Amino acid sequence: MAKTSVNIAQQCKEIIDSVKAGRFAPVYLLMGDEPYYPELVCQAIIDNCLQDFEKDFNETICYGPDVSASQIVTTARRFPMMAERQLVVVKEAQQMKGLEELAVYCAEPLESTVLVLLMHKASADKRKSLYKSVQKAGVVVDSPAIRDYEISNWISSYYSSRGLRIEPQAAALLGESAGTELSVIAAETEKLLRNLPEGCTEVRVEDVEKNVGISRQYSIFELTRELSLKNAAKALKIATHIGTAAKFAMPMAVSALYTHFYRLLKYEAALAKDPRMGQQERAAVLGVNPFFLREYDVAVRNYPVPSAMKVIAMLCEFDYLGKGGDGAATTPDQLLVELTAKILNA
């Protein structure tokens, strides 16, 4: 079964709780397309492995391009000086020369050494010895890239872990602004929380608009809503506005719209199979907060399967045009307005 951001978050929480309690594995392999969790675990190990006075002689932090596997093995086989353990961290480990040669050490690591191999947006080959050795003797964190449609739920869960509730619309807006890089979302969250009133426990749309610098009124999130409702005047106005924004990119807009209409097709298929499906089940099919169900219920009436399929085909065409296909001279804002008009008439 594919790993998800939910079980990766839980796994990393358990690892971090363990290292804070002073329990360490002899070797950690931290990898994956999404660097947020591997880096979070790596920093927790660095912060908790040694006391400050032990670090001078027992902490080695280096970078893959600067070292070889044989050097790391030699360092890892040393014994700590006046400390219970030593820490060896290799960042950007995917760039290390002879990386697979570490497999022999990782198969029988020293208990007095904590070796951390941190890969940035990369993974070890799961068919080879290094991965298999660490899996048996230590801990592997394999963090997958988060999908567009998972972002809002991840944000809600992340805020909940911070003791906060975030409105579904606010989570969607923050996700649209920050994209799918979790470290960016975390950084935007820190900025937002610094500006909230003391004791605040709920983050609203207005808070995101004010502190993150994105307007709900003119966003892809709002455009998909108006398209769902087939509110032509508002949809065209939003498309005109966001298409002229400095940071606007047609491929990103098409991707967001594709996600929306793909969800719609999944929803229609699920409803055809079980028309009496409950609210929580419907929300699970869509991968959205139940708050948004009304929008999708209206959308399935406005875009029955043939219309939704037609929209998907349009999006493929406009994705091609938005990337310069056919040498189109049409500007991105004109393309978005044209696409919006065609979707409304699907």
Helix (H, G, I), strand (E, B) or coil at 138: coil
- Of 304 and 195, more confident: 304
Q: Quick one: CATH architecture of 148-214?
A: Orthogonal Bundle (1.10)
Residue spans per domain, the chain:
5-142, 148-214, 220-344
Distance between CA atoms of 51 and 149, rounded to whole angstroms? 42
> For position 329, what pLDDT does the model report?
59
Please report the pLDDT score of residue 1 as a whole number: 36
Confidence check: pLDDT of 2 > 50? no
H-type alpha helices, the chain: 5-20, 36-49, 55-58, 69-76, 102-107, 129-137, 151-161, 168-178, 182-194, 205-212, 220-228, 232-243, 250-273, 279-286, 293-302, 305-322, 332-344
State the pLDDT confidence band at 104, using cuts at 50, 70 and 90.
very high
Q: What is the CATH number of domain 220-344?
A: 1.20.272.10
Q: What is the mean pLDDT of residues 99-105?
A: 96
What is the CATH code for 5-142? 3.40.50.300
% residues pLDDT > 90 (the chain):
54
Give the residue among 24, 79, 77 at the shortest CA–CA distance from 57: 79
CB 172 within 8 A of CB 221: yes
pLDDT in tens, 128-152: 999 999 999 999 999 998 877 778 8
Looking at the predicted structure, is the pLDDT value of residue 332 above 90?
no
Measured distance CA(13)–CA(10) in Å, rounded:
5
Q: What confidence tier does 301 reach under pLDDT thresholds 50, 70, 90? A: very high
pLDDT number for residue 6: 53
Q: Mean pLDDT across the stretch 305-322?
A: 91
CA nearest 138: which of 62, 45, 48, 68?
A: 45
Q: What element of type H or E holds 60?
A: strand 59-63
Please report the DSSP string for 197-238 in residue order: PTT--EE-HHHHHHHH---GGGSHHHHHHHHHTT-HHHHHHH
Mean pLDDT of 4-28: 90
pLDDT digits (tens, 9 = 90+) for 72-84: 999 999 999 999 9
**294 has pLDDT over 80:** yes
Q: How large is the average pLDDT for residues 182-200?
A: 85
Q: Which residue has the higher pLDDT, 187 or 179?
A: 187
The pLDDT score that the predictor gives to residue 221 is 83
Residue pair 311/261 in contact (Cβ under 8 Å)? The answer is yes
Residue 51 has pLDDT above 90, yes or no: yes
